[in-house]
């Protein structure tokens, strides 16, 4: 029986459906309530900070002065031009963005804590903040941090010899300057943690809504100078993360500090406003592209000037370089380019810091290169699919412009399949008929590749002080024949318990129901990196496969001893170890291995436990997205009529879960393209602090998403699986923007800023009459 | 402190609460029913949806004291006492209508209400009603599919 490839229902679901999940806010009940006093101004000097005049019994007020022994958060990057900005856990002198935590109030209940928060005395001598690229990069700009001259926190540049000549020699030049609006990952459950002191052991248990529990543990122990072994971090049920919950936020060390000092249980659960203004943002970027094409539409040279607003601080462990350097490394996606020059800068401003968010910079670079392809196609009189076909990599392994190995993939096949499904001639006829009636339909393509499942070598190349990558899995068969696999990945909605059990089940000839996946607890799992970067199924899954194969070998050796044959004669299937006509239940083998070890120990030792490790170089999945939209020129309203995804993520372990990842990613990408933007007033006040201002789409705005799979099995991963967690978000903004641009082509305008909100679209067409 | 008497999932409850405590917080903290989640606490996301006297309400926009004498239904009341999932819950699992599960109780209660209304459900009604709530993970398609499948199984789908 093969379990890989089946739409196995998720074992995660029943408790969640009964309302029996355990999320941080559920664990928080009964703990002392922690609330944070947050800065109302973007930049300034703290001149007074005092607790409420009356503090009821059982209440505490904690400031940076109390945390004098606690180290500042200082994420490191070994690059000469990286400015290692420090973030004090609670600041004493200065504030750097609206929403920055300044002090903590502790009370027995939430309402009292919030009353006390309002009674705190806080004076800040406000100064003019640095908001936006133009202000930050102005020659006379104030410095967000004195150690970062010019407000540049990190910089990268590549410029091959004779680049300017190559670009100048191109028959056609396309210039494209565009802006990507700031977005929030906005998991439906915000951040939160409960820190509890165990009087019997002196240890602290921190339950946190986190994606990287082991990193949180290491990081907090370092900041607090406490024994790491005294800290247990648990990621219980986590209500979505999408990258936002990778960071070591300052609130967590405060909770652990409180629990240690006051030997109690302390909980902080943020509200939506805190999540929107003070957790982490992403995607606030401005790019200028210059692309030179030859007369046949082949890209000869690409120049990119990239600005990424990194906010006021650098988050641990990924650092504020994650967006600007990802953008540098991955232009121009799946396309061949003989010459690539790029400059990227991470720019400090008095705004909320940036963390990775599903896709990291790739939704932005895909938007850039895909809009360039459409502009070039229009200039050269080529169809959008044809210009892409002429430029996509088609011989593998290929090398990207920055030297990354592009493994076996299906860039052109995915495009061809999408074009075939769409029936573009029929759409063009419909589009022409609609235009004649003053209705504007458009079709947009977006072709991209997605680097996934990359291990230590890829992260080491980024020169991070903390280099993520590998995964380790400890697998053990119990005397009952059930299997426990302890993983360092930390799922939060991806269904890993189900998919990993499918991988292991096939290797051991067992039913997935007999396999438990244990995760999200530093006491019970091997050191690992958690879940992010479309890595867990590839790397955690690969490590599961390695571990399960070693265990299978052991089982075969044990069975061979009992069945009196060679290990190579034994197969494990349907719960049995089978050798020719002889067979025995694997559960019986497991019992004997543990309880009658005298029969087996010289063949297999005294346990049925193995460790698997996996650290792949990385693999690229790929996709072609296509959107058909209708734009109402008068109102600027965009309706997504059809959304198509042709996706190649190699071997699909569970098609149901894979499609769910794509659908969810596309919905976030459509949100990015049309609806969501974090907006700051010029004085640094966030204007989008509620879900009435920051507006994620509902099911009324998100269309059915049609998904077709190609399965290119490359040898870059041992399971054949490639990651696909981020692709949906990566492809959608470009597909939607290209579709809107196609729809508005009679007006002679196109999209150069997203989200393409109704006011922006109205501004584009204002004063313009459509060509017939 | 005010005393509130009400029923939850058929069982009588009595709680002593501050008048400013919301219904969602009262259910979570006083009744131990943590299946009702809070995603925004300002009435937009619908994660806190419960049924109050037969109507879906945002548990974060109703005060606990307003529940005096009310009949409340929460996600914990959907499955059988032995944990067996009901039709709608089964459909959510079969159609992969949840990922992180944080929005799920709200969608389940909203859909429960809709499926119990006379007149049945069609595609337009389905989208219209479920657009009350936010999900960040699924892209909605499978939530719609799950409720559609449950409606079909219950014989109230008018597709
Ligand atoms: S928590 Fe009540 S609507 Fe969001
Ligand atoms: S399943 Fe995560 S918010 Fe809906």
User: What distance, in Å, lies between the first and last C-alpha atoms of chain A?
Assistant: 61
CB contact under 8 Å between A17 and B42, yes or no, is: no
Beta bridge partners of A207: A194, A234
Tens of pLDDT, residues A534-543: 888 899 999 9
Q: Best of B56, B58, B133 to mutate for ligand 1, by most ligand atoms within 8 A of CB?
A: B58
- pLDDT confidence band for A201 (50 / 70 / 90): very high
pLDDT in tens, A34-77: 999 999 999 999 999 999 999 999 999 999 999 999 999 999 88
HEC profile of A35-56: EEEECCCCCEEEEEEECCCCCC
Distance A282 CA to ligand 2 centre (A): 20
Between strands A440-452 and A471-477, the pairing is: unpaired
For position A682, what pLDDT does the model report?
A: 96
Q: Tens digit of pLDDT for each residue in A392-434?
A: 999 999 999 999 999 999 999 999 999 999 999 999 999 999 9
Confidence tier at A105 by pLDDT (50, 70, 90):
very high
Which three-class secondary structure state does DSSP give residue A451? strand
Per CATH, A31-127 and A457-614 having the same topology is answered no
Q: Which pLDDT does position A1 carry in this prediction?
A: 64
The 8-class DSSP code of residue A214 comes to H
The Cα–Cα gap between A48 and A31 comes to 29
B41–A663 CB contact, under 8 Å: no
Q: What's the pLDDT at A404?
A: 93
Burial of A606 (0-12, 13-18, 19+ CB in 10 A): exposed
Do the Cβ atoms of A187 and B135 come within 8 Å?
no
Residues of chain A positioned with their CB less than 8 A from the CB of B91: none
Give pLDDT tens digits for B35-90. 999 999 999 999 999 999 999 999 999 999 999 999 999 999 999 999 999 999 99
| pLDDT at residue number B132 | 98
Q: Please report residues of A whose CB lies closer than 8 A to that of B133.
A: 698
**pLDDT, tens only, A211-262:** 999 999 999 999 999 999 999 999 999 999 999 999 999 999 999 999 999 9
- Per-residue CA distances from B55 to A293, A382, A618, A639, B155 (Å): 62, 57, 51, 31, 21
Contact A180, A309 (CB under 8 A): no
Max intra-chain CA distance, chain B: 50
In sequence order, what are the residues at sequence separation of 6 or more whose Cβ sits closer than 8 angstroms to the Cβ of residue A98? A38, A39, A40, A41, A42, A277, A352, A684, A685, A686
- Ranges in chain B annotated CATH 1.10.150.120: 87-154
CA-based R_g, chain B, Å: 15
CB contact (8 A) between residue B75 and residue A18: yes
Three-state secondary structure of A560-598: HHHHCCCHHHCEEECCEEEECCEEEEHHHHHHHHHHCHH
Q: Answer yes or no: pTM beyond 0.90.
A: yes
What kind of fold does domain B2-77 have according to CATH?
A: Ubiquitin-like (UB roll) (3.10.20)
Cβ-nearest to B104 among A16, A660, A666: A16
Chain B positions in Cβ-Cβ contact with residue A14 (cut-off 8 Å): 83, 85, 89, 93
Mean pLDDT of the A152-178 span = 97
pLDDT above 90 (res B115): yes
- Please tell me which residue of chain B has the smallest CA distance to A704: B141
Share of chain B above pLDDT 90, in %: 99
Residues contacting A107, CB < 8 A, separation 6+: A32, A33, A35, A56, A58, A59, A113, A116
pLDDT for B69: 98
CATH topology of domain A31-127: Aldehyde Oxidoreductase; domain 3 (3.90.1170)
- pLDDT at position A430, please? 98
| Predicted local distance difference test score (pLDDT) of residue A530 | 85
Which of the residues A7, A8, A13 would you substitute to probe the B interface, choosing the one with the greatest number of B C-beta atoms within 10 Å? A13
Asked whether the beta carbons of A8 and A512 are under 8 A apart, the reply is yes
Best mutation target among B101, B114, B140 (most A Cβ atoms within 10 Å) is B101
Are residues A16 and B98, on separate chains, in Cβ contact within 8 Å?
Answer: yes
For testing contact with chain B, the best of A210, A239, A697 (most B CBs within 10 A) = A239
Q: Is the model's pLDDT at A685 over the cut of 80?
A: yes
| Residue in the structure block whose two tokens are 């929107």 | A276
Cis peptide leading into residue A317 (ω within 30°)? yes
CB-closest option in A187, A696, A705 to B141: A705
- Give the pLDDT of residue A646: 98
Does the predicted interface ipTM exceed a cut of 0.85?
yes
* Per-residue pLDDT band at A79 (split at 50, 70, 90): confident
Residue A762: exposure state from Cβ atoms within 10 A (0-12, 13-18, ≥19)? middle
Is any atom of ligand 1 closer than 6 Å to the C-beta of B58?
yes
Query: Token pair for residue A308?
Result: 């990424």
pLDDT confidence of residue A772: 66
Q: What does the pLDDT read at residue A425?
A: 97
DSSP H or E segment with residue A152: strand A152-158
Residue A89 structure tokens: 């856990």
> A243 to chain B nearest CA, in Å?
13
Which residues of chain B does CATH 3.10.20.30 include?
2-77
pLDDT at A566 over 70: yes
Domain ranges of chain A: 31-127, 360-454+619-765, 457-614
Helices (H) and strands (E) in chain A, counts: 21, 29
User: How close A9 gets to chain B, by Cα (Å)?
Assistant: 6
Choose among A404, A451, A756: nearest CA to A623: A451
Give the pocket of ligand 2 (CB within 6 Å): A 188, 240, 493; B 98-104, 135-138
Chain B partners within 8 Å of A627 (Cβ): none
What whole-number percentage of chain A has pLDDT above 90? 94
Return the bridge partners of A289, or none.
A176, A304
Looking at domain A360-454+619-765, its CATH class is: alpha beta
**How does pLDDT run across A618-642, given as a tens digit for each residue?**
999 999 999 999 999 999 999 999 9
Q: What average pLDDT does the structure give for chain A?
A: 96
Q: Which CATH number fits domain B87-154: 3.40.50.1000, 3.40.50.1010, 1.10.150.120, 3.40.50.720?
A: 1.10.150.120
Residues of B in contact with A699 (CB under 8 A): 127, 130-131, 140, 143-144
User: Looking at A637-737, which runs of residues are DSSP E strands?
Assistant: 638-648, 705-710
Say whether B140 and A665 touch across the interface (CB within 8 A): no
Cα distance between the two ends of chain B? 50
Does the domain spanning A457-614 belong to CATH 3.30.420.10? Answer: no
Q: Which ligand is nearest to the CA of B133?
A: 1
pLDDT bin (cut points 50, 70, 90) of residue A460 is: confident
Which chain A residues are within 8 Å of B74, Cβ to Cβ?
Answer: 19
**Cβ pairs bridging A and B (under 8 Å):** 174
């Amino acid at each position: 029986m093969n379990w890989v490839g089946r739409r196995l229902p998720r074992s995660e679901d029943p408790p969640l459906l009964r309302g029996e999940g355990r999320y941080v806010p559920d664990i928080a009940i009964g703990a002392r309530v922690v609330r944070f006093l947050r800065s109302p101004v973007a930049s300034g000097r703290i001149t007074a900070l005092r607790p409420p005049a009356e503090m009821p019994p059982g209440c505490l007020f904690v400031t940076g002065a109390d945390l004098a022994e606690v180290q500042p958060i200082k994420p490191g990057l070994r690059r000469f031009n990286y400015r290692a900005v420090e973030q004090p856990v609670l600041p004493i002198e200065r504030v750097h963005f609206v929403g920055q935590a300044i002090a903590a109030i502790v009370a027995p209940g939430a309402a009292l804590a919030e009353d006390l928060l309002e009674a705190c005395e806080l004076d800040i001598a406000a100064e003019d903040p640095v908001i936006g690229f133009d202000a930050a990069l102005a020659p006379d700009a104030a410095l967000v941090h004195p150690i970062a001259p010019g407000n540049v926190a990190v910089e990268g540049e590549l410029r091959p010899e004779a680049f300017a000549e190559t670009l100048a020699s191109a028959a056609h030049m396309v210039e494209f300057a565009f802006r990507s609006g700031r977005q929030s990952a906005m998991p439906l459950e915000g951040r939160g943690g409960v820190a509890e002191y165990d009087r019997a052991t002196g240890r602290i248990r921190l339950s946190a809504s986190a994606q990287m529990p082991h990193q949180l543990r290491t990081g907090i122990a370092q900041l607090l100078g406490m024994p790491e072994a005294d800290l247990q971090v648990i990621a219980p049920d986590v209500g979505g993360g999408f990258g936002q919950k990778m960071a070591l936020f300052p609130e967590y060390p405060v909770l652990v500090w409180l629990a240690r000092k006051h030997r109690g249980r302390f909980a902080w659960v943020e509200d939506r406003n805190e999540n929107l203004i003070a957790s982490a943002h992403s995607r606030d970027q401005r790019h200028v592209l210059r692309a030179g094409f030859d007369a046949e539409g082949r890209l000869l040279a690409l120049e990119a000037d990239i600005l990424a607003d990194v906010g006021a601080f650098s988050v641990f462990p990924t650092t504020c370089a994650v967006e600007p350097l990802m953008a540098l490394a991955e232009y121009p996606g799946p396309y061949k380019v003989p010459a690539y020059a790029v400059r990227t800068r991470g720019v400090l401003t008095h705004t909320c810091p940036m963390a990775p968010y599903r896709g990291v910079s790739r939704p932005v670079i895909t938007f850039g290169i895909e809009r360039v392809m459409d502009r070039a196609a229009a200039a050269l009189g080529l169809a959008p699919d044809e210009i892409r076909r002429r430029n996509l990599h088609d011989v593998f392994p290929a090398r990207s412009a920055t030297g990354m190995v592009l493994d076996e993939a299906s860039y052109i096949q995915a495009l061809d399949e999408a074009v075939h499904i769409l029936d573009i001639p029929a759409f063009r006829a419909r589009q022409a008929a609609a235009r004649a009636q003053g209705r504007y339909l458009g079709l947009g393509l977006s072709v991209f590749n997605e680097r996934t499942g990359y291990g230590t070598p890829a992260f080491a190349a980024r020169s991070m002080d903390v280099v993520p990558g590998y995964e380790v899995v400890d697998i053990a068969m119990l005397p009952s024949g059930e299997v426990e696999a302890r993983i360092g990945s930390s799922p939060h909605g991806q269904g890993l318990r189900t998919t990993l059990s499918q991988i292991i089940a096939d290797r051991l000839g067992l039913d997935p129901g007999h396999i438990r996946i244990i995760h999200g607890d530093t006491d019970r799992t091997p050191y690992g990196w958690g879940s992010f970067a479309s890595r867990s199924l590839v790397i955690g899954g690969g490590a599961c496969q390695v571990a399960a194969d070693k265990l299978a070998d052991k089982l075969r050796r044990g069975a061979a001893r009992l069945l009196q044959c060679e290990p190579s004669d034994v197969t494990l299937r349907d719960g049995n170890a089978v050798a020719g006509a002889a067979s025995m239940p694997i559960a019986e083998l497991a019992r004997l291995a543990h309880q009658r070890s005298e029969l087996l120990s010289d063949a297999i030792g005294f346990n049925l436990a193995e460790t698997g490790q996996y650290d792949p170089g990385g693999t690229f999945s790929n996709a072609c997205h296509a959107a058909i939209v209708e734009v109402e020129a008068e109102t600027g309203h965009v309706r997504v009529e059809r959304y198509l995804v042709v996706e190649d993520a190699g071997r699909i372990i569970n098609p149901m879960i894979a499609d769910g990842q794509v659908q969810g990613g596309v919905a976030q990408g459509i949100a990015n393209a049309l609806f969501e933007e974090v907006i700051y007033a010029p004085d640094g006040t966030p204007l989008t602090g509620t879900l009435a201002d920051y507006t994620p789409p509902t099911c009324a705005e998100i269309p059915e998403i049609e998904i077709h799979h190609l399965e290119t099995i490359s040898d870059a991963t041992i399971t054949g699986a490639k990651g696909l967690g981020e692709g949906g978000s990566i492809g959608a903004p470009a597909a939607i923007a290209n579709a809107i641009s196609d729809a508005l082509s009679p007006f002679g305008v196109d999209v150069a800023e997203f989200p393409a909100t109704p006011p922006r679209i109205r501004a584009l067409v204002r004063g313009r009459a459509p060509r017939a | 402190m005010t005393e509130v008497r009400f029923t939850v999932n058929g069982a009588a409850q009595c709680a002593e609460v501050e008048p400013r405590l919301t219904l969602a917080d009262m259910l979570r903290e006083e009744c131990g029913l943590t299946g009702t989640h809070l995603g925004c606490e300002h009435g937009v996301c619908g994660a806190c949806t419960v049924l109050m006297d037969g109507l879906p309400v945002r548990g974060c926009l109703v005060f606990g004291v307003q529940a005096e004498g009310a009949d409340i239904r929460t996600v914990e009341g959907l499955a059988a006492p032995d944990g067996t999932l009901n039709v709608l819950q089964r459909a959510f699992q079969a159609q992969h209508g949840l990922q992180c599960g944080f929005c799920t109780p709200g969608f389940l209660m909203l859909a429960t209400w809709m499926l119990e209304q006379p007149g049945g459900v069609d595609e337009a009604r389905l989208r219209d009603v479920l657009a009350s709530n936010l999900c960040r993970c699924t892209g909605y398609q499978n939530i719609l599919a799950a409720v559609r499948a449950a409606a079909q199984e219950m014989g109230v789908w008018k597709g």
